[in-house]
Structure 1
Amino acid sequence: MNTPLPRFVAAGEALTDLLTTGRGTWTSQTGGSTWNVARVVARLGIPSAFAGAVSRDVFGLELAAANAAAGLHPGFLQQVDRPPLLAVVHERHPPRYFFIGTDSADLHFAPEHLPAGWQESAAWVHFGGISLAREPLAGTLVALARDLKLRGTKISYDPNFRALMDDRYDDTLRTMVGLADVVKVSDEDLRGLFRHDDTDAAFASLRALNPAATYLFTRGGDGAHLVRPDGVWHAAAPAVDVVDTVGAGDASIGALLYSLMTWPERAGGSHLRVAVAAGTAACRVAGAQPPTLDAVLALALALADAIVVRRDDALDFPAPGQQYFGTLLQR
């Protein structure tokens, strides 16, 4: 029996986190930002896939098993005879880490080996994470995004800043924001990507790259904003007991994409409420565990007074036409 092709695909990296548990002891955990987003959308109920490559060793086998357990289409995960991509988290609070991935499996992803006809089936394709900062994979994914855009596929993008995204990443940032219909970015991402601390100015510079896109701008305890050409919606951060913030950003962008795909006619505030509820739900459990649709909708209802959504017809962010162009846009 053939598995139907997915409506949503996330393309990028799946990796293994090696987490310190004490002096000389470690535990492993499957992860990767784009892979997590695919799991989120699948858990919410949309047929989904992760498009990427993993190793054939014990780490790759664990990722393949977790991919299957998440209900992701099996034809999009490629296993190759290369070393695994590892994130070594040697300090937990605050997290400090480095990546091991010389000639690793993720770099050998081959879009030409994906199932025939998948481009016509996929309504949305998501990109982001360190996959866009590691060659030759980055070039492969940018070319794929360009091709999909020409076909009329919706593109979403979450840079998910990491330290290896230095000034060599600037061209990729400009290109991917320009291609994207939806961009998710946090205040931490903006400080890293633009290399200064004025996040409002950085966000205005980002929007100037593509004023027509929808932006989900998350600001931790200061809540979140959904910014579109027809308005800006703000949501206060709900007061909840935070167990773990790992995966919260992936949950929020995954839920936003689910909402946009399921209820395209709804106003921005409705989409923002779903995204904030999903991010909040992810913070209430340990590890990057995708929330269920019932949990997200129940939390959105239960926190209706806490997730205060307000629309401003007059943008309170600097408009894209204003001159907030920093080093990135002057290059």
Structure 2
Amino acid sequence: MEQVMEYTTEEKQQIIDLLQYKREQSSLGSDAKFAVSIGLNKGVYSQLKNGRYTNKGGKSLLSHQNWVRIARFVGYSHHSELSWKTARTQVFSVISAQLTFCQQHSTTGIFCDIAGIGKSHAGKAYAEQNTNAFYLNCGEAPKKSGFIKLLARTLGFEQAGSLEQLFMDCVYYLKTLTNPIVILDEAGDLEQSAVLLLKRLYNELEFACGLYMLGAEGLRKKMDTGVRLRKNGYEEIFSRFGGKYTRLIPEGHERLKFMRAMARDIVEAQGIKNQEAIKNILTISAGFDMRRIRKEVMKVQLEERLNSN
């Protein structure tokens, strides 16, 4: 039977340090809300925050699975020097600018383009760096009930009472904040019931909260089909979100040039200076999918690290 590799005390401290950084960046007003948002009991979070990882009996406050979950949430890596650095690509800059506008003016927008160009990274980074900005991955909760629970957890609400009460608590809380924005990534995954809920969320928060959708071609196809077939809610949602999509990646030969330039920016932002290594990464990642590029970059970084030891 394979032995589970537990985190060392030093690794746990690194995870908690990253967690504290997340807390400092968080828009949630209290430690209790922040604890709920990451699935922890507020008492346990308080002890972890103060450097205590075991109870009086010496038993770990968190199971190994929970340590792994928290490590994933904060982006912990055993190879801290391989941490990913954000490159201000055109995609990143445009999404950031639109999110800023939507947040400041409590309005809406849709960014819809091909997969693998850094849309999610831009949305997450914005939420981490801006007050009252909340990121939701709709792919985690495509149904109405799951969406309400995900929204509540992100806002730091205990999931007590009916779903309707929970939803209205979220709406009320967002209305109390200064220029909040909810970033809806993977919005194309939302099912019909959640789309109708999104319409209601907009109606409840109009001029009080920014709402911004991120998605790939599936979002555009689902929205266009819903509007064309007059599916309940789609025409209203599309209209409320501006009635258009922002798209950056050009077609034809220009697409290749655009993607190559963006890929090079990302690779160089990770500190890779060797031109031969950069050329190899771009050659291997011929489609310039940013996820593939990240894997290739990490291979080069690990090789450089091993060679330096």
**TM-score normalised by L of structure 1:** 0.32
Q: Which has the higher strand share?
A: 1
Bigger-Rg structure (1/2): 2
Q: Relative contact order (alpha carbons < 8 A, sep ≥ 6): 1 or 2 greater?
A: 2
